[in-house]
Structure 1
Amino acid sequence: MTGYSDGTFKPNASITRAELAAALAKLLPQSGLNTSASAAGFRDLAAGHWATEAAAQLQAAGVITGYADGSFKPEQAITRAEAVTMINRLIGLDASTTQPGAGEWTDVASAHWAHDAILAASMKR
Structure 2
Amino acid sequence: MMTRPLCFVVPGSQKSGPAAAPGLPIFVDLAYVPNHCSAKNVDQEFFKRIRSAYYVVSGNDAAGGEPSRAVLDALLDAKAQWGSNLQVTLIPTHDTEVTRDWYQQTHERQQELNIMVLASSSTVVMQDESFPACKIEF
TM-score by length of 1: 0.25
Q: Which structure's relative contact order is higher, taking Cα pairs within 8 Å and 6+ residues apart? A: 1
Q: Could you tell me the TM-score, scaled by structure 2's length? A: 0.23
Bigger radius of gyration: 1
Higher helix share: 1
More strand per residue: 1 or 2? 2
